[in-house]
Amino acid sequence: MKNLRRYRGLQVDFGLHYRYFSVSANVRAQSPNAEPEDLVHEGTSDTTHVSGLHKLLQLFARTRAPIEGKACHAKIIHVGLQADTLTSNMLINMYSKCGLVDCARAVFDEMAERSLVSWNTMIGSLAQNGEEQEALCLFVEMQRKGTPSSEFTLSSVLCACAAKCAVFECKQLHAFAIKAAMDSNVFVGTALLDVYAKCSMIKDASFVFECMPERSDVTWSSMMAGYVQNDLHEEALVLFHRTQMSGLEYNQFTISSTICACAGLAALIEGKQVHGVLCKAGFESNIYVVSSLIDMYAKCGCIREAYIVFQGVDERSIVLWNAMIAGFARHAHSMEAMILFEKMQQMDISPNEVTYIAVLNACSHMGLVEKGHKYFHLMMREHKVSPNVFHYSCMVDIFGRAGLLREAYNMIEKMPFDVTASMWGSLLSSCRIHRNLDLAEVAAKHLFEMEPNNAGNHVLLSNIYAVNKKWEEVALARKLLKESYVKKERGKSWIEIKDKVHSFMVGERNHPQIAEIYSKLDDLIAKLEKMDYKAETEHDLHFVEESRKQQLLRHHSEKLALIFGLMCLPQNVPIRIMKNLRICGDCHSFMKLTSNITEREIIVRDTNRFHHFKDGYCSCGDFW
Ligand code: ZN
Ligand code: ZN
């Protein structure tokens, strides 16, 4: 799934993007070594003058005032306090809060006597200011000097490992924690599972979690965030139910991870229940919670509900605007996305790079070449946002979809970054729609090199040969695919009926009502065939003969999910289906016709976008 997801162009998960940072902050915030108040207890001097200076240092740390802090430092040297350990600790803390790690380090290096607190503050400071490697080195130095470390040292160093995804170091620290009997400490355990989760070692993370004798709310929310980051949405929801049963208090991170999990599963009913829970718990104006709520409704196909949530917030931060604009873009409501984009600027909120990704995405989905081009330049000229690889990716998409394949190719060529596989993938898809064989071969050649195991690329290329009636090349491409041992991911679709998510594989056998589903499907196909529906077998690339291929195509998972939806849901309820791959051309036609003869609204979310089928038409305008 990961590979296929990559090649279809671009999708930025706005929901998770900021959550990653917020959870790191969350884990850090739990370690008290960073708080100046904790440094006060080891006082060495008690004159009012000294304590006045200390109070000032704390104030400047809290208010992030480096200039005033430096003046205070000068005063400290002037009165001859620089050798005092407590004062030095506070200086290190102040400098680190103000982001001046070098100054903090200079104070640390000059200290004649270091207590444990000095080391902790310095290591924490390095870890929080992006100097993870330095933090690790300092920890090693501390060990060599024989200074005993505390739980807080260990959790700071682990935070550094998480940011660098340093798996090897993390394992060593894990062993160290066990040896020092610190592994049962709640801070250490939480930091450990956080590192494992961020390094995609989710099994190790949940092992640490299950072994912990004591867990804080941060532990629970870190574990849930870990599941969500690793696409294990069902596991995240199970954990949420466990927190509910254990009567634990929710925090903003547990709630927003849960909403993210619902979004990942397109579990709307569950999502609405969590919406109820969060209102009761008083989180409806929390920006993290609200932006994941907007994202969830948008991803579940309820763009109207997303907008209602957005409108309900008085103070909208950029994160909320971005989530809403991205939601509109995903639903091909480009007009709304652009209106919101203008509106946010009227309210004096400057768009950032994430906003521009969403806006360019909106242009791409609607084939708005000129607008896209305009925004791309506006971004650099007026908002001084320099385009990153995602913006270029959007432009390649915009040109490609509009059939300006040369322009798309030139964009790739002149880009100041390494070309990503997703760009070649986007170009290849555009070549399929606009039947450009030459560029398709160029793009495919790059893709085969970059992603030798992605079957999707072979499939696309051979489809392009097929529509151009190059049968020899089709045969060759299929032969290559067969020989290259690449595995095609099996199609799978989900539909939520009465707060239970039902999943269907292509050619499903195990669902309890499958016999009835197949017979109803046959009836529907017979009806559609009278309306000139013909199975488009070129969309199926299994290595089987035509008749078997027709049968496989009939049983694509989204068709089965649709029939089940028709069976179970009342007439006025839209049928919402989620699919793990891009919807094929045949299923797309099938959905359009079905929406017409059954007079139902059908919403399919595939890996690329949403398709709203109504009265025989799709919102994507057959452009996906
Ligand atoms: Zn299909
Ligand atoms: Zn569509």
Domain ranges of the chain: 1-113, 493-618
CA of 402 to the centre of ligand 2 (A): 16
User: Which residue has tokens 């390094």?
Assistant: 199
Residue 225 CA: distances (Å) to CA of 132, 164, 186, 263, 279: 22, 18, 17, 13, 21
Q: What's the CA-to-centroid distance between 478 and ligand 1, angstroms?
A: 19
Residue 559 alpha carbon to ligand 2 centre in Å: 14
Is 314 exposed, middle or buried (CB count within 10 Å of its CB: 0-12, 13-18, 19+)?
exposed
Confidence at residue 156, expressed as pLDDT on a 0 to 100 scale: 82
Distance 602 CA to ligand 2 centre (A): 10
Strands 492-497 and 575-579: antiparallel
- Cα 45 to ligand 2 centre (Å): 73
- In the reported structure, the alpha carbon of residue 537 is separated from the centroid of ligand 1 by a whole-number distance in angstroms of 10
Give the number of the ligand closest to the Cα of residue 586: 1
Q: How far is the CA of 113 from the centre of ligand 2 (A)?
A: 69
- 576 Cα–ligand 2 center, Å: 13
User: CB–CB of 443/429 below 8 Å?
Assistant: no
Ligand 2 centroid to Cα of residue 610, in Å, is: 7
Ligand nearest, relative to CA of residue 618: 2
Question: In the 8-state DSSP scheme, what is residue 537?
Answer: G
Q: List, run by run, the mean pLDDT of 10-residue segments along the chain (624 residues).
A: 32 30 38 38 51 84 85 84 82 84 82 78 79 81 80 82 79 86 88 89 92 90 92 89 86 91 87 91 88 91 92 89 92 89 92 93 86 91 87 92 92 89 87 87 88 75 79 79 67 86 88 94 92 70 60 87 95 90 87 94 86 88 72
Ligand 1 center to 475 CA (angstroms)? 21
Q: How many angstroms separate the alpha carbon of residue 161 from the centre of ligand 2?
A: 43
Cα of 539 vs centre of ligand 1, distance in Å, is 7
Query: What is d(CA 141, CA 144) in angstroms, rounded to the nearest whole number?
Result: 5
User: How far is ligand 2, taken at its centre, from the CA of residue 368, in Å?
Assistant: 17
Give me the residues near ligand 2 (ion), CB cutoff below 5 Å. Answer: 611, 618, 620
pLDDT at 42: 38
Question: What is the number of residues in the chain?
Answer: 624
Cα of 250 from ligand 2 centre, angstroms: 39
What sections of 349-451 are H helices per DSSP? Answer: 353-366, 369-381, 389-401, 405-414, 421-434, 437-450
Cα distances from 360 to residues 92, 325, 376, 494, in angstroms, run: 44, 10, 8, 29
Tokens of 265: 């599963």
Q: How far is the CA of 263 from the centre of ligand 1 (A)?
A: 23
The ligand that comes nearest to the alpha carbon of residue 557 is 1
β-pair type (602-605, 575-579) = parallel
How far, in Å, is the centroid of ligand 2 from the Cα of 451? 27
Residue 588 Cα to ligand 2 middle (Å): 6
**Cα-to-centroid distance, 618 and ligand 1 (Å):** 15
Q: Quick one: pLDDT at residue 385? A: 86
Q: What ligand has the least distance to the C-alpha of 582? A: 1
Q: Which ligand is nearest to the CA of 507?
A: 1
* d(CA 521, ligand 1 centre) in Å: 14
Which ligand places an atom closest to the C-alpha of 540?
Answer: 1
Can you tell me the distance from the alpha carbon of 265 to that of 257, in angstroms, rounded to the nearest whole number?
A: 12
